[in-house]
Structure 1
Amino acid sequence: MVGSQKKQGLMQGIGNVFIVGNSRSGTTMMLRIMNNHSLVHGINEPHFYGTYWAPADDGKMLGHAESRELLTKLLTRQRDGFFAEVVPGKFDAEVEAILRELPAHADRKDAYATFMAYETRRNGMRIACEKTPQNIFYISELQHHFPGAKVIIMYRDPRAVLLSQKRKWMRKDLGMAGMPDKEVRRLRMNYHPYTIARLWNSSFDAAMRHKGHPDVLEVRFEDLTRDPEGTMRRVCEGIGIPFEPAMLEVPHAGSSSAMDDHSKKGIRTDRGESWKKGLEPAEVAICQGTCGSRMAKLGYEQVPVSPGVLRLAAAWLSFPFKLAGAFVLNLDRMRNMTNTLQRRLKQA
């Protein structure tokens, strides 16, 4: 079973699985599937790497106040949701319990590992399964900080990713009522077909740097929706846990184009090619022109497209304004701006 790494205190015996990939590539669906397993507890988007950790933090001992602040933020995000504000005192007792389990001279990664082990044991599980898409750019760190951990890389057709990103801000009205207006503005500003296509390329290149590693599993979103059981049997075998049919009974939620319906369960199979109707020709052309060679390596075929000259020009003219706005609205999400941008924009 995954998790042969030796840890002390709460971490001993807890295995780790990390779900990574380009945003809107099916990472949430994979987490929901994994969370249905009788041995697995899901940790949903703590965004530790990049937001709460930078390379210079390794080996730098956390002070008591700093440890409390970090653990409080992690507990708040896990229990109350991604957009929840910290409520002073709410998790003080649990923070103190985790602090008592920290190894001597603990740094940020030690606090993070102990937090995940605490949450997993608290729920009676053996494996912590953490999902943060952007960890695709931190696989080396995951493997260094969590020896023996399994990493599931999700891929999805970049044109489908574009459509999902284009509509992501609509999640506020489709089931994510807690999304603040500031986040809606950020998501709308983030979207530009070239920006999303470039980030898809960067995610692909980051994944390729770890292709073939025995602890890395690769899953195409399209394969997961086309053959859920076969795909998850392969994933479970790679992790070292038995497949359970109940894993596939996930609620219909998280889509950027349909209202959440938690009464319906199972893997939806109707989301494969909706981009053909949802994207404008200019968006498809920019995406295919940017991602073409990488798309082919994953089996995604290009389609003929003839965008109007004016539409294409308008898309390119809007790019610098979108880029500047996105930069400003994402500043508070990066602990080390230079390091974060270098990772996300690096291409082979």
Structure 2
Amino acid sequence: MAARVRAQGCPIQESRSFRAGAVTMTSAPVATGEAGRGHVGLRRAFIVGCPRSGTTLLQAMLGRHPDVFTFPETHFFKKAWGRMWRFKQFGLAYPPAAAHAIAELRREVRLDGSGPVAPGFWPFFRTYGRWFTHIVDRACREAGKSVWIEKSPIHLHCLPDIVRAVPAARFVHVLRDGREVVASFYELCLRDPTRWLGQVLAGDKQVYLRMEPHDGRILRAVIARWNRDVQISLHRRGDPAHHLVRYDRLIADPVATLRPVCAFLGIEFDDGMLEYWTSAPEVLGWRAQFEHMQKVLRPLDPQHGAKYVQVLSAAQRAVVESGLLDGGDLDALLGEGAPA
């Protein structure tokens, strides 16, 4: 590492640049202390959950609120390490990967080319995390909004990193019946294995490229992913910085479900959120082209759950129900009548 490493958290005074793949990053002065503290009244939130749980739907709804700034998912707190996850335990980022993550973030939040670009060649992850906050705060303020919401399901596995990097971050967890999630997730793994299998098999291409399309390990891996993710969310139940939302209740009664979410975020309920599909293309970005995202571009369909029977055989459903925590039933998992 050619660049001299200075004390973590110190402001960068000099100007320098380096080349990281196709991205040129130039350091610029940043304020001391936590990024974004000067943004008085700005609120920051993350929507997280297991993939196929309804996180995009909730984001699209909240994105219609006049006080909310949101944007396509960034995966930033995963991308900053790239394939170098072993760096994480030492509090380090992988600078080339973090450089690209910063550049992609600026595009997603639609910042122009002016102003600071990135913190330079710094190895500490916390530095990049602070710049994430700095960039999104700035984009939110330029949009004239008071709340920004980032939605990347994988950030459920990065909660401690986000808490350290983003002051006063709040988290909205979306929970969906495990059987429905597994059926939807499994179907996508079969339809587009290159894109989806890495999300359930830790990105080990050598493993999933050897699998047959209907390999039982894929189904078991999807089951394990839901179990792991829902346990992370349930562990935060009752934490004032975390709020749990049930997908089935969001579909059945969006007004009653959205009101407490709005209160949690410090905003008033707005009827415009019910017409979420009008802003969904902006939230989806390039992902709007995918078939599995088309429901977010249409009004709510109260009929759901049929995919579980359509996609999985009786034998597969038996494996799912025996493998999921409490059979994947949220009422059983949360307690009958317990608020989410």
Aligned with 1:44: secondary structure? coil
Change over 3 Å in CA distance of 1:72–1:204 after alignment to 2: same
Matched-pair identity in %: 21
Which of 148, 154, 162 is the aligned partner of 1:134? 154
Q: Go from structure 1 to structure 2 and tell me whether the alpha carbon gap of 1:201 and 1:40 turns closer, same or farther (over 3 Å shift).
A: same
Instruction: Give the match's secondary structure for 2:129.
Output: helix
> Which of 129, 134, 137 matches 1:109?
129
What secondary structure sits across from 1:203 in the alignment? helix
Matched residue type, 1:152: V
Contact 1:10 1:118 (C-alpha < 8 Å) held by counterparts? no
Task: Say whether the 8 Å CA contact 2:51–2:153 is kept in structure 1.
Answer: yes
Partner of 1:314: none
Q: Which residue of 1 aligns with 2:144?
A: 124
**Of residues 176, 179, 183 in structure 1, which corresponds to 2:195?**
183
Change (3 A) 1:141 1:61: closer
Contact 2:46 2:149 (C-alpha < 8 Å) held by counterparts: yes
Measured after TM superposition, the shift of residue 182 of structure 1 is: 5.0
1:240 is aligned to 266
Write the letter of the residue equivalent to 2:246: R
TM-superposed CA distance for 1:39, in Å, is 0.8
Matched, 1:287 2:313: no
Residue equivalent to 1:316: none
Pair 133,248 (structure 1): closer, same or farther in 2 beyond 3 Å: same
CA distance in 1, matches of 2:160, 2:94: 22
Change (3 A) 1:71 1:49: closer
Give aligned pairs, total: 270
Query: Does the 8 Å contact 2:49/2:55 carry over to 1?
Result: yes
Does residue 14 of the first structure (1) align with residue 47 of the second (2)? no
Alignment equivalent of 2:53, drawn from 2, 25, 33: 25
Partners of 1:10 and 1:66 in 2: CA distance: 28
Aligned partners of 1:192 and 1:118: how far apart in 2? 41
Counterpart contact for 2:49–2:154, Cα < 8 Å:
yes
Give the Cα separation in 2 of the matches to 1:108 and 1:276: 44
1:250 shift after superposition: 1.9
Q: CA separation in 2, counterparts of 1:21 and 1:56?
A: 23
Q: Residue type of the partner of 1:73?
A: E
Deviation at 1:199, TM superposition (A): 0.5
Structure 1 pair 7–162 and aligned structure 2 pair: CA distance change class (3 A):
same
Runs of 5+ unmatched residues, structure 2: 1-32, 82-86, 201-207, 212-216, 282-287, 335-340
Distance 2:263 2:65 in 1: 13
SS at 1:249 equivalent: helix
Instruction: State the secondary structure of the residue aligned to 2:157.
Output: helix
**Partners of 2:199 and 2:94 in 1: how far apart?**
33
Contact 1:162 1:196 in 2 (8 A): yes
Tell me what 1:178 maps to: none
Partner of 2:236: 210
Matched, 1:260 2:300: no
Going from structure 1 to structure 2, the CA distance change for 1:110 and 1:57 (only over 3 Å counts) comes to farther
* Residue equivalent to 1:326: none
Contact 1:18-1:151 within 8 A present in 2 as well: yes
1:71 matched to 2:102? The reply is: yes
SS in 1 for 2:70: strand
| Cross-structure match for 1:162 | 182
Contact 1:171-1:255 within 8 A present in 2 as well: no
Q: Could you tell me the TM-score, scaled by structure 1's length?
A: 0.65
CA-based RMSD of the aligned residues comes to 3.8
In the TM superposition, residue 207 of structure 1 has moved relative to its aligned partner by 1.3
Which TM-score applies when normalising by structure 2?
Answer: 0.67
- Report the equivalent of 1:340: none
Distance 1:99 1:257 in 2: 35
Q: Unpaired runs of 5+ in structure 1?
A: 80-90, 173-180, 302-348
Q: Would the aligned equivalents of 2:48 and 2:156 in 1 still touch at CA under 8 Å?
A: yes
Amino acid at match of 2:300: I
**Which residue is 1:197 aligned to?**
223
What are the residue-to-residue correspondences of 1:293-304 with 2, within 5 Å? Answer: 293=326, 295-296=328-329, 298-299=331-332
Residue aligning to 1:84? none
